[in-house]
Structure 1
Amino acid sequence: MSPIELPLARSTQADSPLHTFIACAHQMLDASTPETVRRAMEPKLLAQLPVLRALGVFELFELRDPALRAWLADELATMDEVPVKPEVNLLKQT
């Protein structure tokens, strides 16, 4: 088991979004990672994007891997395009 896989194998401790993102990115970029594992990392990595964006991580750091950088830029742009549903008032007014 690689050192990157160790943090992902833990289930008793909640990791920070940054830690989870980095571990998933390493798995996805490792050429020896099977495609099934790589696909399993995608939703875990994407789930961290809102928090990392809110923290300003992507304004401070740039991903070195061009393919990963482009993919995440597309995902972040898609997040911007999703319209926010207005709040629905479920209370009936009389």
Structure 2
Amino acid sequence: MSMIAVRTPTAETAPLEAFVACAHQMLAPETPEAARRALEPRLVALLPALRALGVFELFELRHPALRAWLEDEMREGRH
């Protein structure tokens, strides 16, 4: 996976941009487990906006673990 410059998401960051930034941070091997756990609620909070934008109808997440986790979150009806 090529490294890209990922800036920290802010309140003004677009939902898709924030999702990509958080996902990259979660998947980076150097990210500590505590930081990954802190990113989980941020990603979950973005799900309603991403679903409203139709992101998951247009794109497929290729990372198996991230895809399975998000599918579980959406299936459980929380978002």
TM normalised by structure 2 equals 0.86
Q: Name the SS of the counterpart of 1:20 in structure 2.
A: helix
Q: Name the SS of the counterpart of 2:23 in structure 1.
A: helix
Question: What are structure 2's unaligned runs of at least 5 residues?
Answer: none
Corresponding letter in the other structure for 1:51 = A
> RMSD across aligned C-alpha pairs, in angstroms?
2.0
How many correspondences in the alignment?
A: 76
Aligned partner (choices 47, 65, 70) of residue 45 of structure 2: 47
Greater relative contact order, per chain length (Cα 8 Å cut-off, separation 6+): 2
Aligned partner (choices 35, 38, 48) of residue 36 of structure 2: 38
Aligned partner (choices 64, 67, 74) of residue 66 of structure 1: 64
Identical pairs, percent: 58
Cα distance in 1 for residues equivalent to 2:12 and 2:50: 16
Runs of 4 or more off by more than 4 Å in structure 1? none
